[in-house]
């Protein structure tokens, strides 16, 4: 991949001039109302905040933290931080006070922007007392200096201030699915390269000289949304970015945006499908979709109901997507494709496209990405978006890179002759049964998650004679379990599923039982990361005292 020019900041200044009156950001503010910000208005606000930040006397490259749900002023604050000569540290808006404290202290942040949050009162104790704070417009009521007051009293920063390619643009902390969060350092050269690379993929796929619409709702503190929503929008310029107001208004927000590009994570693609099945049983829908004329009408109606009928590019990342789910969306006329990337390569690694899109594979490398499989089966990646390293962790850098600069992803995989990559599991997730055989959970979980009754699953069983799976039932199903006939029907369906899955996997991988989780897994109860990946160690620890009883039970389906 050739060195991209202009940089992300140069792109911003170009859009400020060339697209001055084009609406860039649309922010819901409650009661069905929205505020639109043109490119000129967006950059003007960023320039004013940058001018204010420069008066604070912070050293060049100082870390400035952002704790906020997605909103227009997240974009503006990040641009201001860059223009002022600093580095952004974004914190997941659902993190506990302990994690907020860890990230602020580990990153040595000098200032905190407090934004749109649901439980700031619980997080505030994690912020060091001496740390200065600025409240974004949608922040909870605070005594801090407010964004709007600073706008009113501060003149905009003059000139097009640029940053050195090697300056750090941001530190992205991982979501902590495997322990303490790690801070991946990304410089301006590499995030700019990724922004241009994704913009090129969009233009090559959907046509050049096009305007697009997106909805930003996955956490901006996570690399996926930061690269695939914010950075590409800043580089491309002609992406109108809408924001979601809340979970309750999500479908309304989606219908307002009418996105042409929509990226999500597997759990939400599954929840969309389960929402459809809650209104129409899967068998009936499949029958209607198979009818020549009616099928197209029904498919269009389903996509319209989801707010996805205008989507031309649909993608999924962050975790494996069941192949059957991909096929289901394609039957509806939505060409859902899967991608694969990491925090450490700024979400720029692999993706399916119009030609290479086999369900079960994550596509081919992006332009400039090199990939190889180690002797142990581990995927090794060298990407234009590759991080500079882990902040204050040179020990991890030494462990995570090969001598020739490839990042050790920790994922197991294989490649087809046409270059398509298949993820077969995670090195750290492999566990050995008492028979001495290793089991990879992810492929088995994919088979389970494809069933309409199951929302999430976790395969485990280290040290036991055989593996088992813990499953969370679909949201619409859970309230009905008090009825004995529904419970009996679910139990039979799960027993049938267990038999079907065991027929598809190797003898040593076969599951002894499916255990229905007593409670759904959530970010709040510590079972999911902020990006909705399961926290295996936490879930395994929480059920370890029940394992002997489960294994002693002869039933195929156990209610925990």
DSSP track, 30-82: ETTEEEEEEHHHHHHHHHHHHHHHHTTTPPTT-EEEEE--S-HHHHHHHHHHH
- Which helix (DSSP H) or strand (DSSP E) does residue 105 occupy? helix 97-107
Pick out the chain residues at pLDDT < 50. 1-4
Across 188-283, the runs of DSSP E, i.e. the strands, are 212-216, 239-243, 261-264
Q: Which CATH number fits domain 430-559: 3.90.1170.40, 3.60.15.10, 3.40.50.300, 3.30.300.30?
A: 3.30.300.30
pLDDT in the model for residue 265 = 86
Domain boundaries, the chain: 8-226, 246-424, 430-559
Give CA–CA dist 559/475, Å, rounded. Answer: 16
Task: Provide the edge-to-edge strand list for the sheet that holds 350-351.
Answer: 261-264, 313-316, 336-340, 350-351, 364-365
State how far the Cα of 52 lies from the Cα of 145, in Å rounded to an integer: 11
Residue 102 CA to residue 89 CA, distance in Å, equals: 12
Q: Please give the pLDDT value at position 559.
A: 94
The H helix count followed by the E strand count for the chain is 19, 27
Per CATH, the number for 246-424 is 3.40.50.12780
Distance CA 339, CA 357 (A): 10
Residue with tokens 């799960």: 494
Q: Cβ(9)–Cβ(162) under 8 Å?
A: yes
Helix (H, G, I), strand (E, B) or coil at 387: coil
Distance (Å, rounded) from C-alpha 184 to C-alpha 171? Answer: 5
- Length of the chain measured in residues: 560
Q: Is the dihedral of CA 130, 136, 139, 145 positive or negative?
A: positive
**The pLDDT value given to residue 179:** 63
Element (H, E) at 441: helix 441-449
> What does CATH list as the number for 8-226?
3.40.50.980
Distance between CA atoms of residues 284 and 377, nearest Å? 42
User: Given this chain, do its domains 246-424 and 430-559 carry the same CATH topology?
Assistant: no
């Amino acid at each position: 991949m050739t060195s991209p020019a202009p940089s992300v900041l140069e792109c911003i200044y170009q859009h400020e001039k060339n697209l001055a009156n084009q609406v860039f950001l649309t922010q819901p503010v409650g009661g069905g109302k929205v505020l639109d910000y043109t490119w000129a208005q967006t950059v003007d606000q960023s320039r004013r905040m940058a001018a204010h930040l420069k008066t604070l006397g912070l050293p060049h490259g100082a870390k400035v933290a952002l704790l906020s749900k997605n909103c227009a002023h997240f974009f503006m604050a990040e641009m201001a931080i860059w223009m002022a000569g600093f580095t952004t540290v974004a914190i997941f808006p659902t993190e506990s006070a302990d994690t907020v404290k860890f990230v602020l202290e580990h990153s040595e942040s000098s200032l905190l922007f407090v934004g749109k949050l649901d439980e700031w009162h619980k997080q505030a104790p994690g912020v060091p007392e001496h740390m200065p704070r600025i409240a974004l417009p949608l922040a909870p009521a605070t005594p801090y200096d407010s964004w709007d007051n600073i706008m009113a009293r501060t003149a905009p920063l003059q000139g097009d201030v640029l940053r050195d390619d090697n300056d750090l643009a941001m530190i992205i902390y991982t979501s902590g699915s495997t322990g303490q969060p790690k801070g991946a350092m990304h410089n301006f050269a590499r995030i700019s390269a990724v922004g241009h690379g994704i913009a090129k993929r969009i233009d090559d796929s959907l046509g050049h000289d096009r305007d697009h619409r997106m909805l930003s709702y996955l956490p901006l503190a996570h690399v996926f949304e930061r690269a695939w929503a914010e950075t590409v929008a800043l580089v491309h310029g002609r992406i109108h970015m809408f924001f979601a107001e809340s979970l309750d208004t999500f479908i309304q927000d989606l219908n307002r945006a009418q996105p042409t590009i929509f990226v999500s994570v597997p759990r939400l693609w599954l929840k969309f499908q389960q929402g459809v099945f809650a209104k129409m049983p899967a068998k009936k829908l499949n029958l209607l979709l198979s009818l020549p004329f009616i099928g197209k009408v029904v498919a269009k109606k389903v996509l319209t109901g989801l707010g996805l009928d205008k989507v031309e590019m649909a993608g999924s990342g962050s975790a494996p997507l069941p192949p059957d789910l991909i096929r289901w969306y394609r039957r509806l006329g939505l060409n859902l494709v899967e991608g694969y990337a990491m925090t450490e390569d700024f979400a720029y690694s692999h993706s399916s496209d119009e030609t290479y899109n086999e369900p079960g594979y994550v596509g081919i490398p992006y332009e400039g990405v090199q990939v190889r499989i180690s002797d142990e089966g581990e995927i090794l990646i060298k990407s234009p978006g590759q991080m500079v390293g882990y902040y204050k962790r040179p020990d991890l850098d030494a462990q995570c890179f090969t001598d020739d600069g490839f990042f050790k992803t920790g994922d197991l995989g294989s490649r087809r002759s046409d270059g398509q990559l298949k993820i077969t599991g995670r090195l750290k997730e492999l566990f050995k049964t008492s028979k001495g055989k290793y089991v990879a959970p992810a492929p088995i979980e994919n088979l389970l998650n494809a069933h309409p009754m199951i929302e999430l699953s976790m395969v485990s069983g280290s040290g036991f004679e055989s593996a088992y799976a813990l499953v969370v039932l679909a949201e619409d199903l859970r309230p009905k379990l008090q009825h004995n006939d529904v419970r009996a029907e679910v139990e039979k369906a799960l027993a049938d599923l267990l038999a079907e899955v065991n027929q598809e996997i190797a003898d040593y991988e076969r599951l002894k039982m499916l255990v229905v989780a007593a409670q759904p897994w959530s970010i709040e109860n510590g079972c999911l990361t902020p990006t909705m990946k399961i926290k295996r160690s936490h879930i395994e620890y929480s059920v370890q005292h029940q394992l002997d009883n489960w294994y002693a039970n002869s039933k195929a389906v156990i209610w925990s």
